[in-house]
Amino acid sequence: MNWLKKQKCGSVPVKQVPAHIGIIMDGNGRWAKKRGLPRSAGHSAGAETFKKIVQYCSKIGLKHLTVYAFSTENWRRPAAEVTFLMGLFEQYLNDALKDFEQRNIKVVFLGDKSAFSPNLQRLIADIEQVSQSKTGMVLNVAMNYGGRSEIIRAAKAIASDVKDGKLSVEAIDEKVFADKLYTEGQPDPDLIIRPSGEKRLSNFLLWQSAYTEFVFMNVLWPDFSEKDLDLAIDEYAARNRRFGGV
Protein backbone atom coordinates (compact mmCIF):
# COMPACT_ATOMS: atom_id res chain seq x y z
CA MET A 1 0.00 0.00 0.00
CA ASN A 2 1.22 3.48 -0.77
CA TRP A 3 1.92 5.28 2.48
CA LEU A 4 1.35 8.72 1.03
CA LYS A 5 -2.14 7.69 -0.03
CA LYS A 6 -2.65 6.39 3.48
CA GLN A 7 -1.47 9.69 4.86
CA LYS A 8 -3.97 11.48 2.61
CA CYS A 9 -6.92 9.33 3.58
CA GLY A 10 -5.90 9.80 7.16
CA SER A 11 -5.37 6.22 8.31
CA VAL A 12 -1.76 6.96 9.24
CA PRO A 13 -1.32 9.98 11.46
CA VAL A 14 1.09 12.48 9.94
CA LYS A 15 3.50 12.00 12.84
CA GLN A 16 3.80 8.33 11.84
CA VAL A 17 5.15 9.14 8.40
CA PRO A 18 8.96 8.93 8.43
CA ALA A 19 10.76 12.13 7.49
CA HIS A 20 14.11 10.39 7.31
CA ILE A 21 14.80 6.83 6.18
CA GLY A 22 18.20 5.13 6.29
CA ILE A 23 18.98 2.09 4.16
CA ILE A 24 21.87 -0.32 4.63
CA MET A 25 22.22 -1.56 1.05
CA ASP A 26 23.39 -5.09 1.86
CA GLY A 27 23.36 -8.49 0.15
CA ASN A 28 24.93 -7.79 -3.26
CA GLY A 29 27.56 -10.51 -2.89
CA ARG A 30 25.06 -13.19 -1.86
CA TRP A 31 22.72 -12.19 -4.70
CA ALA A 32 25.56 -12.80 -7.18
CA LYS A 33 26.69 -16.03 -5.51
CA LYS A 34 23.18 -17.46 -5.74
CA ARG A 35 23.36 -16.95 -9.50
CA GLY A 36 26.91 -18.26 -9.92
CA LEU A 37 28.10 -14.75 -10.80
CA PRO A 38 31.12 -12.78 -9.50
CA ARG A 39 30.43 -10.43 -6.57
CA SER A 40 30.98 -7.49 -8.92
CA ALA A 41 27.79 -8.45 -10.79
CA GLY A 42 25.92 -8.14 -7.51
CA HIS A 43 27.32 -4.66 -6.97
CA SER A 44 26.25 -3.59 -10.47
CA ALA A 45 22.74 -4.93 -9.84
CA GLY A 46 22.71 -3.19 -6.44
CA ALA A 47 23.63 0.11 -8.08
CA GLU A 48 20.56 -0.20 -10.34
CA THR A 49 18.41 -0.76 -7.25
CA PHE A 50 19.95 2.33 -5.66
CA LYS A 51 18.89 4.41 -8.67
CA LYS A 52 15.36 3.00 -8.64
CA ILE A 53 14.82 3.49 -4.90
CA VAL A 54 16.20 7.06 -4.90
CA GLN A 55 13.75 7.94 -7.68
CA TYR A 56 10.88 6.32 -5.82
CA CYS A 57 11.67 8.07 -2.52
CA SER A 58 11.89 11.40 -4.28
CA LYS A 59 8.60 10.71 -6.08
CA ILE A 60 6.67 9.86 -2.90
CA GLY A 61 7.91 13.02 -1.22
CA LEU A 62 10.33 11.65 1.35
CA LYS A 63 12.32 14.50 2.92
CA HIS A 64 15.60 12.75 3.83
CA LEU A 65 17.10 9.48 2.59
CA THR A 66 20.45 8.15 3.77
CA VAL A 67 22.03 5.22 1.96
CA TYR A 68 25.01 3.28 3.25
CA ALA A 69 27.20 2.63 0.21
CA PHE A 70 30.68 1.91 1.64
CA SER A 71 31.82 1.62 5.25
CA THR A 72 35.19 2.50 6.76
CA GLU A 73 35.59 -1.28 7.23
CA ASN A 74 34.83 -2.16 3.59
CA TRP A 75 38.47 -1.35 2.67
CA ARG A 76 39.26 -4.75 4.19
CA ARG A 77 37.80 -6.46 1.11
CA PRO A 78 40.02 -7.83 -1.67
CA ALA A 79 41.66 -5.01 -3.63
CA ALA A 80 39.91 -6.04 -6.86
CA GLU A 81 36.47 -5.71 -5.23
CA VAL A 82 37.32 -2.31 -3.72
CA THR A 83 38.62 -1.08 -7.09
CA PHE A 84 35.46 -2.30 -8.81
CA LEU A 85 33.26 -0.52 -6.25
CA MET A 86 35.18 2.76 -6.63
CA GLY A 87 34.73 2.54 -10.42
CA LEU A 88 31.03 1.88 -9.96
CA PHE A 89 30.67 4.92 -7.65
CA GLU A 90 32.32 7.10 -10.29
CA GLN A 91 30.14 5.76 -13.07
CA TYR A 92 26.92 6.04 -11.10
CA LEU A 93 27.54 9.47 -9.68
CA ASN A 94 28.47 10.70 -13.13
CA ASP A 95 25.27 9.29 -14.64
CA ALA A 96 23.12 10.43 -11.73
CA LEU A 97 24.34 14.02 -11.66
CA LYS A 98 21.77 15.21 -14.23
CA ASP A 99 19.02 13.10 -12.70
CA PHE A 100 19.63 14.56 -9.23
CA GLU A 101 19.57 18.03 -10.75
CA GLN A 102 16.31 17.45 -12.60
CA ARG A 103 14.63 15.96 -9.55
CA ASN A 104 15.76 18.85 -7.35
CA ILE A 105 17.61 16.38 -5.09
CA LYS A 106 20.19 17.79 -2.69
CA VAL A 107 23.05 15.34 -2.28
CA VAL A 108 25.22 15.31 0.84
CA PHE A 109 28.17 12.95 1.25
CA LEU A 110 28.74 11.48 4.69
CA GLY A 111 32.25 10.20 5.35
CA ASP A 112 35.92 10.92 4.77
CA LYS A 113 36.31 11.83 1.11
CA SER A 114 40.09 12.28 1.27
CA ALA A 115 40.62 8.53 0.74
CA PHE A 116 39.01 8.61 -2.73
CA SER A 117 40.79 9.08 -6.07
CA PRO A 118 41.16 12.67 -7.32
CA ASN A 119 38.57 11.90 -10.03
CA LEU A 120 35.97 10.69 -7.56
CA GLN A 121 36.69 13.61 -5.23
CA ARG A 122 36.17 16.05 -8.12
CA LEU A 123 32.87 14.40 -9.02
CA ILE A 124 31.70 14.58 -5.41
CA ALA A 125 32.67 18.28 -5.26
CA ASP A 126 30.71 18.93 -8.50
CA ILE A 127 27.61 17.22 -7.14
CA GLU A 128 27.87 19.12 -3.87
CA GLN A 129 28.21 22.36 -5.80
CA VAL A 130 25.10 21.69 -7.94
CA SER A 131 23.26 20.52 -4.81
CA GLN A 132 23.66 23.80 -2.96
CA SER A 133 20.64 25.38 -4.65
CA LYS A 134 18.39 22.28 -4.45
CA THR A 135 15.33 22.28 -2.25
CA GLY A 136 13.87 18.78 -2.75
CA MET A 137 14.75 15.51 -1.06
CA VAL A 138 18.06 15.42 0.80
CA LEU A 139 19.97 12.32 -0.28
CA ASN A 140 22.82 11.47 2.07
CA VAL A 141 25.30 9.07 0.52
CA ALA A 142 27.43 7.42 3.22
CA MET A 143 30.72 6.54 1.53
CA ASN A 144 33.85 5.71 3.51
CA TYR A 145 31.53 6.36 6.42
CA GLY A 146 31.74 4.88 9.92
CA GLY A 147 29.66 5.95 12.92
CA ARG A 148 32.62 5.64 15.29
CA SER A 149 34.99 7.67 13.15
CA GLU A 150 32.25 10.30 12.73
CA ILE A 151 31.95 10.58 16.52
CA ILE A 152 35.74 10.82 16.99
CA ARG A 153 35.86 13.52 14.31
CA ALA A 154 33.14 15.50 16.14
CA ALA A 155 34.97 15.09 19.47
CA LYS A 156 38.18 16.41 17.89
CA ALA A 157 36.37 19.40 16.37
CA ILE A 158 34.86 20.24 19.76
CA ALA A 159 38.21 19.83 21.54
CA SER A 160 39.79 22.14 19.02
CA ASP A 161 37.05 24.78 19.50
CA VAL A 162 37.57 24.59 23.28
CA LYS A 163 41.33 24.90 22.88
CA ASP A 164 40.90 27.96 20.64
CA GLY A 165 38.56 29.59 23.18
CA LYS A 166 35.55 29.44 20.79
CA LEU A 167 33.56 27.11 23.03
CA SER A 168 33.38 26.53 26.77
CA VAL A 169 33.25 23.00 28.20
CA GLU A 170 29.97 23.89 29.95
CA ALA A 171 28.34 24.81 26.62
CA ILE A 172 28.85 21.33 25.14
CA ASP A 173 25.48 19.62 24.85
CA GLU A 174 23.78 17.17 22.46
CA LYS A 175 22.93 19.91 19.99
CA VAL A 176 26.51 21.24 19.90
CA PHE A 177 27.77 17.69 19.37
CA ALA A 178 25.22 16.79 16.67
CA ASP A 179 26.18 19.94 14.77
CA LYS A 180 29.71 18.55 14.37
CA LEU A 181 28.46 15.36 12.69
CA TYR A 182 28.21 14.87 8.92
CA THR A 183 24.40 15.02 9.29
CA GLU A 184 24.53 18.52 10.79
CA GLY A 185 21.14 20.24 10.70
CA GLN A 186 19.23 17.13 9.60
CA PRO A 187 16.66 15.18 11.63
CA ASP A 188 17.64 11.77 13.02
CA PRO A 189 16.48 8.79 10.96
CA ASP A 190 12.99 7.65 11.95
CA LEU A 191 13.42 4.32 10.23
CA ILE A 192 16.46 2.25 9.22
CA ILE A 193 15.88 -0.61 6.80
CA ARG A 194 18.42 -3.41 6.42
CA PRO A 195 17.78 -5.96 3.70
CA SER A 196 19.85 -9.19 3.32
CA GLY A 197 18.79 -10.85 6.57
CA GLU A 198 21.61 -9.44 8.72
CA LYS A 199 20.40 -7.84 11.93
CA ARG A 200 23.08 -5.34 12.88
CA LEU A 201 24.03 -1.70 12.31
CA SER A 202 27.57 -2.34 11.03
CA ASN A 203 28.73 1.11 12.20
CA PHE A 204 25.89 3.04 10.48
CA LEU A 205 24.57 6.29 12.06
CA LEU A 206 25.47 5.26 15.64
CA TRP A 207 24.74 8.62 17.25
CA GLN A 208 21.72 9.43 15.08
CA SER A 209 19.93 6.10 15.60
CA ALA A 210 19.37 6.42 19.36
CA TYR A 211 15.57 6.24 18.88
CA THR A 212 15.31 4.91 15.34
CA GLU A 213 12.89 2.11 14.44
CA PHE A 214 14.55 -0.83 12.65
CA VAL A 215 13.06 -3.01 9.95
CA PHE A 216 15.15 -6.03 8.94
CA MET A 217 14.14 -7.78 5.74
CA ASN A 218 15.29 -11.02 4.12
CA VAL A 219 15.31 -9.70 0.56
CA LEU A 220 18.80 -9.12 -0.92
CA TRP A 221 19.50 -5.52 -1.95
CA PRO A 222 19.54 -6.10 -5.76
CA ASP A 223 16.02 -7.59 -5.45
CA PHE A 224 14.72 -4.80 -3.19
CA SER A 225 11.66 -3.17 -4.78
CA GLU A 226 9.39 -0.18 -4.27
CA LYS A 227 6.94 -2.60 -2.70
CA ASP A 228 9.53 -3.63 -0.07
CA LEU A 229 9.96 0.03 0.83
CA ASP A 230 6.18 0.41 1.18
CA LEU A 231 6.09 -2.68 3.41
CA ALA A 232 8.85 -1.30 5.65
CA ILE A 233 7.05 2.05 5.93
CA ASP A 234 3.79 0.28 6.78
CA GLU A 235 5.57 -1.67 9.52
CA TYR A 236 7.10 1.56 10.81
CA ALA A 237 3.71 3.29 10.82
CA ALA A 238 2.30 0.55 13.07
CA ARG A 239 5.03 1.01 15.71
CA ASN A 240 4.49 2.88 18.93
CA ARG A 241 7.41 5.27 19.47
CA ARG A 242 7.78 6.42 23.06
CA PHE A 243 11.20 8.11 23.26
CA GLY A 244 11.44 7.10 26.90
CA GLY A 245 8.04 8.53 27.76
CA VAL A 246 4.84 6.59 28.38
Q: Which residues are catalytic?
A: 26, 74
Q: Which stretch binds ligand IPE (CB under 6 A): 53-61, 68-76, 96-104, 208-216?
A: 68-76
| Site track 10-49 with Mg ion (rule: CB under 5 A), x = hit | ----------------x-----------------------
Beta strands per DSSP E along the chain: 20-24, 64-71, 106-110, 138-145, 191-194, 213-216
Q: Which residue is nearest to ligand IPE (CB)?
A: 29
Using alpha carbons only, how large is the chain's radius of gyration in Å? 18
Amino acid at 233: I
- Annotate each residue in 26-65 with x if it binds ligand IPE (CB under 6 A) or - if it does not, as one string: xxxxx-----------------------------------
Torsion of the alpha carbons at 144, 150, 156 and 160, rounded to the nearest 10: 90
Nearer to ligand IPE among residue 123 and residue 192 (C-beta): 192
- β-pair partners for 141: 67, 109
Q: Using alpha carbons, select from 203, 163, 161 the residue that is nearest to residue 179.
A: 161
Site track 171-210 with ligand IPE (rule: CB under 6 A), x = hit? -------------------------x-x-x-x--------
CA separation for the pair 181, 157 (Å, rounded): 10
Q: What does the binding site for ligand IPE look like in residue numbers (CB under 6 A)?
A: 24-30, 68-71, 74, 85, 196, 198, 200, 202
